[in-house]
A and B are shown apart, each in its own frame.
Chain A
């Protein structure tokens, strides 16, 4: 029964793999719920800051020329991309899809003679950017399961400062948007210059604020915070996608392991049955000979 023993040990090893994938599936299910809560928790800040900023930008049309973050370059020479990925693998096609979108976006920019530099948030994105030899000006890895604002402010401020100083003419963000548990969408968005979507207001406002210390200072700082909060939202969104993708991938792996075990068990039983039949036939033949 040598074949039987081999199959048995194979079944054991597949069962062990199945245990691991099932555990990972359950862990990511609970983490997904938490990241979704964080996504919701961060929304009030983002909404409020957007409302205030849109109001300010609309009231202060004249300040467009003074505030660096509100400038709208006619020709883009150099662009920055913030690339958000996960730190860890085993989450299906999540990072592969994000990288594909990222590469496509870079290709379309370089075809228009735009130089590109990257700020990578997440280990996988850093590796991908290094592989295609795109200059990475800042990065943050090992972000953990709970995104913290202070982890991204550092790497982000480098890129914001470069836009502020006129060294960059546009900033884009690539991340995976959480649509639902089954669907995550790799997405490219324009962060800077601010788009109409950021600055639109529902109703016209005839009044203005009192500013302290000054309009320019407040608006400049406010836009920085706004961008940071948008990137934070994208990061949390990406984390929810990561957990959802991992959950689905691990569920598929667990199911696959189950069907592999069934197949192995079937052939094990077949070989066991075959050897019993063979032994019986030998005994019958032996007794007939006597």
Chain B
């Protein structure tokens, strides 16, 4: 039984990660999912959230903020087709907090407007929250 599995992380504009990992944790539409080698074929929608990759021989997990998309697992190969991915070392906390507050304000504002606006603003807020969570996770678990 292989102890590692292949992971490809792509968004519509580039390929972000490709390599072997011990396991990964991702925020699927029905909750958090941990995928280990030899998982049965699975395809699921993703919610905005963090993606953690455990790379062999590395003490800390690699963390990405993913804004939605799909996860496909098949033949010991996981493919993440993400909408937008940000690597956590590229995230800037003060900017995120500002954007987070702006997103909250937009949701409040949109409540008085039409339904599609609310939905849009809420998704934007979820993305911001996911990015903040990713940053928090890193602060707690890893000093890089």
- Chain A positions near chain B (C-beta within 8 angstroms): 38, 41-42, 44-45, 48-49, 52, 56, 148-149, 207-213, 217-218, 221-222, 225, 228-229, 232
Contact = CB atoms under 8 A, between A and B. Distances in A.
Given A209-B74, A218-B70, A41 B43 contact: no
Contact of B81 (A41, A48, A149, A212): A48
Interface of B: 8, 10-15, 28-30, 40-45, 69-70, 72, 74, 79, 81
A42 B45 contact: no
Is the contact region of chain A dominated by helix, strand, or loop, or is it mixed?
Answer: helix
B45 A209 contact: no
B41 A48 contact: no
B13 A149 contact: yes
A118 B74 CA distance: 39
B81 A225 contact: yes
Contacts of A45: 10-15, 81
B45 A221 contact: yes
A210 B30 contact: no
A208 B74 CA distance: 10
Contacts of A41: 13-15
Contact of B43 (A56, A148, A149): A56
A38 B10 contact: no
Given A52-B70, A52-B72, A222-B70, A42 B44 contact: no
A218 B74 contact: no
A213 B45 CA distance: 7
Contacts of A217: 45
Contacts of A212: 28-30, 42-45
Contacts of A49: 81
Contacts of B8: 44, 48
Contacts of A225: 12, 69-70, 81
Nearest to A52: B72
A48 B7 CA distance: 12
Contacts of B41: 207-210
A212 B44 CA distance: 5
B30 A213 contact: yes
A48 B12 contact: no
B142 to A, nearest CB: 28
Nearest to B11: A45
B70 A213 contact: no
B43 A210 contact: yes
